Chains A and B, each alone.
Chain A
Amino acid sequence: ETGVTQSPTHLIKTRGQQVTLRCSSQSGHNTVSWYQQALGQGPQFIFQYYREEENGRGNFPPRFSGLQFPNYSSELNVNALELDDSALYLCASSLVGLAGRDEQFFGPGTRLTVL
């Protein structure tokens, strides 16, 4: 069984630039969620994708957008980067079934630094 993978591991950008982060979900999972974790804080939910549609969104501005592909992999795009966007970005995959219960398994994260 292949776990959740994310790329790149680290990224440095300057304010105003755009960034794309990638995630491959765990084998057999159909749902991907993205979280932002600032230093010393717990992860904050950005959004979730299920069957290539956004299934729910947290309190993040529209410049945070995403995609899910037919193979269930996903991208997180952030436009007009701000200094406060510096964080660890985590992708979590899960298998959402009829019961609605999902255990979310996280990837190693992408550490984004905005200068």
Chain B
Amino acid sequence: QKEVEQDPGPLSVPEGAIVSLNCTYSNSAFQYFMWYRQYSRKGPELLMYTYSSGNKEDGRFTAQVDKSSKYISLFIRDSQPSDSATYLCAMSGDYKLSFGAGTTVTVRA
């Protein structure tokens, strides 16, 4: 079993829809939770960084963390074609990040 599980998709939604992404994990030592966006052949870009359970909102993005269920989510409201990318969840308990496999999202105009 992988430490971090993420449905690879692909996910295709119409412009303006809500995109819902999620990851599950098995390591109880994880304390920090992140979402990265990666465009094709580029490096990952940090979108959201959360520490505790609960919600964190930043513009159209909302990150949720449920440590009791070992489950994290990212919601993108009013999705735009420019949101088309691969979204990677990542988490850490010490010095290294453990990533999910990434979910490829396409927002259709």
In the complex, are the beta carbons of B96 and A106 less than 8 A apart?
Answer: no
Interface extent on B, as a size class? 20 to 34
In the complex, are the beta carbons of B96 and A45 less than 8 A apart?
Answer: yes
CB-nearest residue of chain A to B94: A56
In the complex, are the beta carbons of B96 and A56 less than 8 A apart?
Answer: yes
The 8 Å CB contact of A43, one of B8, B41, B94, B99, is B99
Asked if A103 is at the interface (CB within 8 A of a chain B CB), the reply is yes
Asked if B18 is at the interface (CB within 8 A of a chain A CB), the reply is no
In the complex, are the beta carbons of B46 and A103 less than 8 A apart?
Answer: yes
- A72-115 at interface with B (beta carbon < 8 Å): 88, 90, 92, 96, 100-109, 111
Give every chain B residue within 8 A of A88 (Cβ-Cβ): 41
Question: Which residues of A are in contact with B by a Cβ distance under 8 Å?
Answer: 4, 6, 33, 35, 40-45, 48, 50, 55-56, 58, 88, 90, 92, 96, 100-109, 111
Question: Which residues of B are in contact with A by a Cβ distance under 8 Å?
Answer: 4, 6, 8, 32, 34, 36, 41-46, 49, 51, 88, 90, 94-102
